[in-house]
Every structure is written in structure tokens, then in C-alpha cells.
Amino acid sequence: MTLKTQLVRQFPNCRVATAQSGAEALERSETLRAAGATPALVIADWIMPEMQGDALLMELHSRYPQMLSILLTEPDRVADLGGENLGSLVHQAGLYRFLAKPWSEADLALTVREALRRSQQEQQLTQQQEELELLRANLAASRMTERYPTERYPTERYPTEHHQTRLALQQSREQLQLTLEFTGIGAWSWHPLTHEYAWNGNMEQLLEIAPSLDNMFQVWQERMHPEDRHRVAASIQQALADQSSFSEEYRYQLLDGRMVWRWVMGQGLYSEGGLERVLGVVQDITERKETELALQQLNAELELRVQMRTQELEYQSHLLRQTKNHYQQILDAIPDLIFCKTDQSRIVYANKAFRDYAGQGFLGAGLEEFQAHADQPHINLEYINQYLKDDFAVLSTGNVLKTEEPILSQTGELRLFSTIKAPIFNSQGEALQVVGISRDITDRDRAEQALRESEARYQTLAQVSPVGIFRTNLDGDCIYANDRWCQIAGLSLAVALGQGWVSAIYPDDRARIFAEWYQAAEAGQQFQSEYRFQNVDTEQITWVLAQAIAEQDQAGNRVGHVGTITDITDCKLAEQALRRLNLELEARVEQRTLELQATAQAAEAANQAKSIFLANMSHELRTPLNAILGFSQLLNRDSALPPEQQQQVSIINRSGERLLNLINDILEMSKIEAGRVILTPSCFDLRELIISLKELFQLKASSKGLQLVTQIDAAVPPQIETDEGKLRQVLMNLLSNAIKFTQQGRVTLSLQVAPSSEANAAAVMLQFAVEDTGLGIHPDEQAALFEPFVQTQAGKASQEGTGLGLPISRQFVQLMGGTLTVESNLGQGAKFYFQIPVLPVQASDLPTSVPRRKVIGLAPDQPRYRILVAEDQPENRLFLVQLLQSVGFDVQQAGDGQAAVDLYDQWQPNLIWMDMRMPIMDGYEATRQIRASAQVTPKIIALTASAFDDERSAILAAGCDDLVCKPVTIALLFETMAEQLAVRYLYETPAEAADGAEDSNPAAEKHLAALEQMPSDWIEQMQWAARTADEELVLQLIEQLPSAQAPLACTLRELVDTMQLDQLVALVTEAEGVGVSTLD
């Protein structure tokens, strides 16, 4: 419904004229004015052709100031003006109110009605003001008449002028009298000297005061409103004092109590003697004041409504901006290209996806701009012309257009889009703009093309496939079968379609196949079964393997099944033959199983026997070694022992330790084969380990003229957690072998961080490598290098070792999580390396190491500890008894477990050394009985010669507090007792140790003196043989020593046997150059 229609319906008594533009509105207003019908109200749209609505209203206001105006606009445009611009527009355009689009007819009617009412009030006010101006003029004329009466005119000099003036004044007075009577204005006069009052009849009606009243002026003031009384009196007095006119409006109370408005105006007449008379008029202005008050109230209401409407418009504008921003964000978040074009096909809006794809240059551009830049890679005039044609079709028909069109990106990439274009209409139903959305379907189009090609290939493959392919709907009706399916089933496609395929299934298989089919379909599982086809014509049986899965639409709903069948007739025949063979084979297998069971039982018995043998061997070998090493340590503690005997005891001790290492290697290999080796992680300082290994092998390497190098990468953590003992043994084996088989050059121990694939993020992979410049290893020998008791040719030639070092090392590395690998070529040295995962730790995690010192007694001020030694071997028992008694312990001994239990009951020892293998009662049972009967539980430390670490749990479970493996060292024995009893010892002082060392010097000096007697060539050969580790030559040279030098020969052989060639080199070097020329 149009604006004019609404106005005509709401205001049928008003004339409504319309104009289509600002210029036409100005022309129509001039026409109406000329006809005497100037418009009281103008309603203008802000957006108009040729002239904007605000400019039109300002122009009309400049021509017709009394004309009110209403401006139609969008809500956000008013808010965008701001307060200052809004006030300027209201003043310059005589603007009554804004009316926001879209408006309601009720809001329009109310706004127009209030505007017309205001216009009428302003017209009435103007008319009254004109009447007052006329009154002012007449009053001025009356004053002139009063000031110059007839008798005062100078008739003698100006008779003619006097007469004319008198006539004019008389005429003016008559006109004034008529005017006063006509307009209801009261006229009055007052003589200040006589206090006489005079007025016309209107005055009596206006003031309701009789002219004969003596106190008329007092009554007049009393009836005046108190708030106006002082102001009016002061104004009159001031005017009379200034000889000027006065004019005041005031409220006046009538006799009936009504309060009315009156206007008084007057002026004094003066002569040389002063004020002679006061003239004035009074007019009833009640209606005007009420109109003014109503108008003020209306203006206040209108201002309030304008303010409220402005706030409403501002809020709506804010919401509109928010909505606009919200929709803008929504549109920018849409990945499709969204745009809007004018009827000239110029893009006036594009979302972010469009701008990012096509670039900013498309905004506002038309065909001319595209033609001017046709050489750009993202502009194709052929495409653009087609876009323009589509736009024209949408605008001309007003219909929605769907199309697929290529669009170039700003980089020149061509992609295919699915575009929908729709028209945007104005209020007159005219299509002015085109809005469009384009979705990139390049990938979909390619996928569809690929799908079409795939379907074509599928059809081709299906026809040439060696397996039968079929499709069914949900009812099980066949809707497709390839040629191979028809060939296997023995049916034509026409017969197979629908339910015809069922006839090809062997009758005995149909019920089973249908049940399996529906069961798989209901469970949503793949169907797979073997069944038979029977040719309808030849009755030939064909076995098939059928597989089928459900087909689904895009919504995931099952629409049918697709499957294959494979001819497995030959397989079925082969299965039948295989079953026959299986029956025969099962009989053979059963027989062989019985044989293998017997063999397995024998192997199990052998393994059990081997474990028992190893346990016995460990006990039998370690037990005497315990006595040998124990007593040799005990003898070494005797400072009174002669130096030669101390040396001999040292030889016994070192030889025993060497024998123990050999036994340990053999037993360790046996434990590895039995799977009884376990990992014992601990925290330690890795760099200290490497340094100690270098110090250990430095002299041996130097004696052969080799350079021993250690290389540690800076990224290697200094402290780690892994099995320190096994890592040390592996590195010692590798370094020992490298030095043994290298005659010149160097041996390098390197350590670095390797890439890790460990699941534990805290673990670090370390690579250890030992590389030498020795003889190298032949490739044929590398395969057997890690086999137990197998040696290379170089190893055999050296006549050293057991061939267990590398196998044990590889097993230890595997236990730590790595693999020991060798790289070598004959004559080019060898490199052994491995990688193991370790956990970096802090230095605070490392156990506190206490230097071992020689115990010489018990510290004072502590209990006298009773120690029971339970050991069946007299030698070992004697060693422990003498050792413990030598430092001050009270010691008792028992030869078996029963004796130990009896002695405990009688003597109540503080600590028991318990051998676990004893006659009559072993250590396990003795420990359990003591624990069961003891009121005060003693400390029990197990003594075991077992080689197996897994026996530790059994020993601790029996009730032992700790265990020590034989052969035991004195230092470990004392440390263990200190841990269990908190016993405190007295230790040998450094000065005492130094005195002992000095006591041994005479023997060394004696050997040096003997060497000084040897020929220089013998000394040179001995030095060379020792440096090159040629033990065979060293032994030959020792045989050349005279019989008188037997102690020297014994000492040199001991150095060779204990692999202390570095000391031999030092001894011979010191004697070099002092020898004689011949042997005695």
C-alpha cells in the first residue's frame, strides 16, 4: 500500500499531492502557493533522484518558514548523523519528525495529525501577533492626540497645518475607538496628580472593576497573581522613571475565581513639569496563553517523543549494525562465493571467500574495466560476457537462474562453480540488483568424472573378471550378473534376474544358504559361504565360494547387496584328496608325537640335570675358592708377613680371582642358555665408568705402544640408570679383545646419543662403540664370532681366552635392549657397537660411595657382638672364625643347620652367617626354625655358592635378611655386617698403610738390583716383548735367567700370569742401560 493511499484514508478532508522527485516537489509547491494553497506539511523520502530529501526540505523551509516537514529514512541513517548534524538538519529544514522505514499506518496517522495540529496553532499565534502589532500602532496614534490637544497647537503660525493635523488625529482617535471596541481591548488613563482613572467599557469587562471604585488600582493589584504582582509593578515604575513604554503579561483572578491571562501596555505623557498622565490598554490573552501553553506542552511532548524515537532509532540502528556485522561475519564464514551486482552488472558486494578467490579488483568493476585489463591472467572476456548475459536474463525475467560456470581465480587458476542467481526487487516490483552464490564443484566434478570412468572400468572389469559378480535388491531379487556368473551358474542373464537365480542352487543347499544370507543381512555382516550350483541341463555340480556385502546409499541405508562367486570345484576335489592324506598323516603325527613327548621328557630331565649340575658345580668350585681367596686375604691383613710371602699370597689371590672370573664366565654362559640371567638396573655416573675403564686398560695399551682414546658426545647424560655391572663387563670384554688383537695404532671407545624410537619418552638411546686398528676379522669368521667357545684364527693364534667373552657380551646387550654388531674387514681393524635405552637421572639419585678401608678392629663404646658361623666346610668356617675374631667379635661355629639351631637356642647370637647348603639340616630350614622360635630375632646373612640370581628370592623368603655369594671378600663381609648390625669399626690409617708399603720396597729393590746384572740386549728384548704383549717371548727370556735369580724369575712369571705387563715394563725400563754384557 502506497503512502498516498494511507494518507487519503486517514485524512479524507485534506488534500494530498505527490511528486516523484525533489525538483518536481519544488515546482508543485510554487504552483500551490500561487493558487493560495501553500502546503501545511511536506513528507519527503530521504533517498530521491536528482535531489536528496534533506536538501529538498531545507529549500522549502527557506521559502516557506511556516511549513512543517517529515523525513522518511532508514533507522541507521539517523544514528549515523550524530547530535550536531541532526540539530542542524531539524533547524534548517523545519523538520518536525523522522519517520523510520518501514512505518506502520497508525504511526503515520499519529505523526501527521500532531504535525497538522501544531501548524494550526502556529497560524493562530501568528494571527494574534499581527493583531497586537496593529494595536501597538493605534495606541501610538492615541498618545499623539493626547500629547498635543487642540488648544495647544500653534494655530497662529500654522493654521492650515494645524487643521490638517487635528483632522488626522480626530480620524485616528475614531479609528482607535472602533478598533478597541471591535477587538475587545480595554483602554485606560490615569492622572498621577489627581489620581483620577478613566477607561472604556472593555476595561470593566476585562477587570470586573467599576470605574467609580476609589481603590481601583489596589483592587487590580490584589487580584493579580502573587507571582506576577511584583514583576508588573516594578516594570511600570521603571518605565515611568525612564519615560519609556511598558508591556507585561500577567495572571488575573476574576470574581468567580477563574484565573485568566491579561496583557497590559502603556506609556506616560510628560511635560516640563514632569509626568502628567499615563495611558494604556489591557487585552484578554487567555486563549493565546492557553494555546501557547498547549503548544509548549505539545512541543515538550513532541521533543520527548522525538528523543524517545531518536533513542529507539539509535537502538534500532545499533541492532541493525550488529545484525549487519553478524550477517557479514556469517557471510564471510561461508566458504561459497556470495556477491551482489547492480543492473549494470557491477559487483557492489562480495563476501570474504569471493574476495580471497577473485581479488578486490572485481568490486565495482564493469565490462569497460575488464576489457581494459583483458591481458591479465584472471580475466577472460568470454566468461565475463556470459556472466553479463546471465545477469541480464535474471533482471529481465525476474526468475532464479541456476548454472555451472568456470571462474578464474586472481592467480589465474580455473575452477568450476555451481552458481545460483536471483533478482532483488524494489518497492515498485522492479528488479534492480542480482544476488548470487557460487559453490566450487571442481573437485566434485572431477570426482563425478572419475566415478563415471570408474563405473566404465568397473563394467569392463566385471565382464572380463574371472569371478562371477552379482547384485541384488533388499528382497533378494537379482538385478545384475556378469557373464562369468552366468557361465558358472549355467543360466542366462534373462533367467537369472529376479528370483530366477535360485534355480541354479543345489536343492540340498538352498535352505542353509537362505538362512545364512538372512542372518548376515540382519546382523549387518558380510555374507560368506560355500555351496553348490547344479546345471539345469547337464546336472553338473559346481562348487562356489560366495561373498557379499551390503550396498548403502548416501544416507547409510541398505539398498541391496553386491557379491562375487568363485569356482572352487578343483579346490574341493583337492580337499577331498587332502582329507585322505590328513587321515594318514594324523596317524603318523600321533606316532611322532609320542616319540617327541618321550624326547621332550628326556630333554626336560636333561635340563633339570643340567641345572642341578650347574648348581653343584657352582657350589663345588666356589666353596674351595672361598677358602683360597679368604685365607689369602686374611694373610694379606697380617702386616708381620715377610714381603716375599706377601707377594706370594698376592699371587695366590690374583690367580684365584682369575680362576673365579673364568668360572664365572662359564657359569654365566650356562645361566644365559638356561634363561636365568636377569637385569639389575642401578643409577651410576656414566663418565666415571668410562674413566675407570680407561684407567684400567691404559697401562696395558701403553705397554703395547697403543693409544687408548675415549670420545663422549656432549649430549650424553652424565648420570644414567641401567645394569652397570653388565654394561661394565661388556665394555671390558670389548676393550680387552681390541687391545689384545691390535699391535699398532689405537683403540677408541666412543659414546654418543642415537635416534630413539622408544615408547618411553624419558628414555635416551645411547650408542657405545669400540673400534681398533688391528688385524680385523675375516667375513667368513664373523658369523660364528658370537658362538660360545668359538675363536677366530687370531684368537687361536694368541692361545688366550675361552671364546665366551663376545657371546656373553651379546647376550648382556640383548638383555639391556640392544644388539651387539661387528663391522670389520681383514687388515682394516674392527668395530663393535651397540645401542641400548637408558634413563637419565640426577646426581642426587646416585648411591653414596664410601671408600673401602682396611678394618683393624671394633670401635669402642658399643655392645660386644656375638656372631654364629654356620658352615659345613671346615676351611671356610675357619676363615670366617679367624677373620671375625681378629677384629674383636665373639664367635661360635656350627658345622650343620641343626647345630646352628641348637647353638642359637643356647647362645642367642646377634648375627648368624648361614651357609645354605649343609648336611643334616640345610640353611633354609635352619633359618625358618630360628625365625619361628626366636623371641629376639637375630640378623641372618646367607652364604651361597650358587651362580643363579633367581635363588635370591627363595633365600629371602626363607627369612634371611641379606645374602653374600662365595667367594666372599673381606670388605664386603664387613660392609654387610655394618648394614645389618650398625656396627662401627676401627680402620687402618693412611700412615700405617704407607709404612706397610715402605716395608715392601726392599723386595722391589732386590729385583731391580738383579735386573741391573742382566745384559743390555736381554733387557731390550724383555722390554720389547713386554710392550708388544708377546708373552711367549717374555717366558723364553725368563728361562734364560740364571738359577741364582729364581726369585726374580718367579716374580716376572707372576706378572705375566696376572697380566701385569705394565709393571713388568716399568721394572725393566728402570733397569735399562745398567746391565752387563754376559750372563753368569
Helix (H) or strand (E) holding 7: helix 3-10
d(CA 96, CA 834): 97
- The tens digit of pLDDT for each residue in 853-878 reads 788 899 999 999 999 999 998 888 89
d(CA 110, CA 339): 40
d(CA 1051, CA 146): 169
- The tens digit of pLDDT for each residue in 334-371 reads 889 898 888 777 888 888 888 888 777 667 666 666 76
Q: Is the pLDDT of residue 79 over 70?
A: no
The whole-number pLDDT of residue 277 equals: 87
764-772/830-840 β-pairing: antiparallel
Cell 653374600, located at residue: 964
Q: Is the pLDDT of residue 44 over 80?
A: yes
The whole-number pLDDT of residue 867 equals: 96
Sequence-ordered strand ranges (E) for 732-778: 746-754, 764-772
Number of CB atoms found within 10 A of residue 46's CB: 18
Tell me what the pLDDT averaged over the chain comes to: 79
d(CA 321, CA 848): 75
Q: Using 50, 70 and 90 to split pLDDT, how confident is the model at 746?
A: very high
Helix (H) or strand (E) holding 852: none
Domains of the chain: 1-164+297-332 (3.40.50.2300), 184-284 (3.30.450.20), 334-446 (3.30.450.20), 465-567 (3.30.450.20), 679-845 (3.30.565.10), 855-989 (3.40.50.2300), 1000-1071 (no CATH)
Three-class SS state of 743: coil
Residue 422's nearest CA partner among 433, 405, 435, 432 is: 435
Q: Is the pLDDT of residue 691 over 70?
A: yes
Query: What is the identity of the amino acid at 352?
Result: K
- The tens digit of pLDDT for each residue in 802-823 reads 557 788 888 889 989 999 999 9
Stronger pLDDT, 437 or 671, i.e. the higher one: 437
CA angle 855, 857, 861 (to 5 degrees): 125
Q: Is the pLDDT of residue 109 over 80?
A: yes
Q: Is the pLDDT of residue 948 over 90?
A: no
Percent of residues, the chain, with pLDDT higher than 90: 20
The whole-number pLDDT of residue 467 equals: 87
Q: Which of 569-578, 737-746, 767-776 has the lowest mean pLDDT?
A: 569-578
Helix (H) or strand (E) holding 694: helix 686-703
Stronger pLDDT, 744 or 845, i.e. the higher one: 744
d(CA 196, CA 502): 140
d(CA 572, CA 542): 10
799-803: long-range contacts, CB 8 A cutoff, minimum separation 24 = 800/740, 801/740, 802/662, 802/665, 802/666
- Residue 214 neighbours by CB under 8 Å, 6+ apart: none
Q: Using 50, 70 and 90 to split pLDDT, how confident is the model at 300?
A: confident
Q: Which of 219-233, 320-334, 427-441, 1046-1060 has the lowest mean pLDDT?
A: 1046-1060
Q: Is the pLDDT of residue 672 over 80?
A: no
Stronger pLDDT, 666 or 256, i.e. the higher one: 256
d(CA 739, CA 730): 14
**Cell digits of residue 961:** 635378611
The whole-number pLDDT of residue 28 equals: 82
Q: Is the pLDDT of residue 408 over 50?
A: yes
Q: Is the pLDDT of residue 213 over 80?
A: no
pTM, two decimal places: 0.37
The angle that helices 569-636 and 643-674 make with each other, rounded to 10 degrees, is: 160
Cα separations in angstroms, 876 against 245, 652, 978:
150, 16, 21
Q: Rounded to the nearest 5°, which phi and psi values hold at 187?
A: -115, 145
Most confident of the following: 777-791, 978-992, 1008-1022: 978-992
CA angle 593, 595, 599 (to 5 degrees): 110
Residues 394, 396, 397, 398: what is their CA dihedral angle, to the nearest 10 degrees?
60
Q: Is the pLDDT of residue 1080 over 60?
A: no
Number of CB atoms found within 10 A of residue 468's CB: 23
d(CA 248, CA 239): 11
The whole-number pLDDT of residue 84 equals: 58
For the segment 372-395, the average pLDDT, to the nearest whole number, is 81
The whole-number pLDDT of residue 914 equals: 95
The angle that helices 1001-1012 and 643-674 make with each other, rounded to 10 degrees, is: 100
Q: Is the pLDDT of residue 231 over 90?
A: yes
- The tens digit of pLDDT for each residue in 473-525 reads 988 899 988 888 998 888 888 888 998 888 889 999 989 988 998 888 888 88
d(CA 489, CA 505): 8
Q: Is the pLDDT of residue 731 over 90?
A: yes
The whole-number pLDDT of residue 1014 equals: 80
How many CA atoms does the CB half-sphere of 796 hold within 13 Å? 8
Number of CB atoms found within 10 A of residue 708's CB: 21
Three-class SS state of 554: coil
Q: Rounded to the nearest 5°, which phi and psi values hold at 564?
A: -135, 155
Q: Is the pLDDT of residue 156 over 50?
A: no
Number of CB atoms found within 10 A of residue 164's CB: 11
Three-class SS state of 2: coil
Q: Is the pLDDT of residue 1079 over 50?
A: no
d(CA 379, CA 374): 6
Most confident of the following: 255-269, 772-786, 789-803, 996-1010: 255-269
The whole-number pLDDT of residue 148 equals: 44
The whole-number pLDDT of residue 86 equals: 61
- The tens digit of pLDDT for each residue in 976-1005 reads 999 999 999 998 875 555 455 444 444 556
Q: Is the pLDDT of residue 1078 over 50?
A: no
Number of CB atoms found within 10 A of residue 382's CB: 7
Q: Is the pLDDT of residue 655 over 80?
A: no
Q: Using 50, 70 and 90 to split pLDDT, how confident is the model at 152?
A: very low
The whole-number pLDDT of residue 249 equals: 92
> Is the distance from CB of 185 to CB of 193 less than 8 angstroms?
no
Number of CB atoms found within 10 A of residue 1037's CB: 21
Stronger pLDDT, 1061 or 275, i.e. the higher one: 275
Stronger pLDDT, 140 or 323, i.e. the higher one: 323
d(CA 182, CA 134): 13
- The tens digit of pLDDT for each residue in 64-74 reads 877 878 888 77
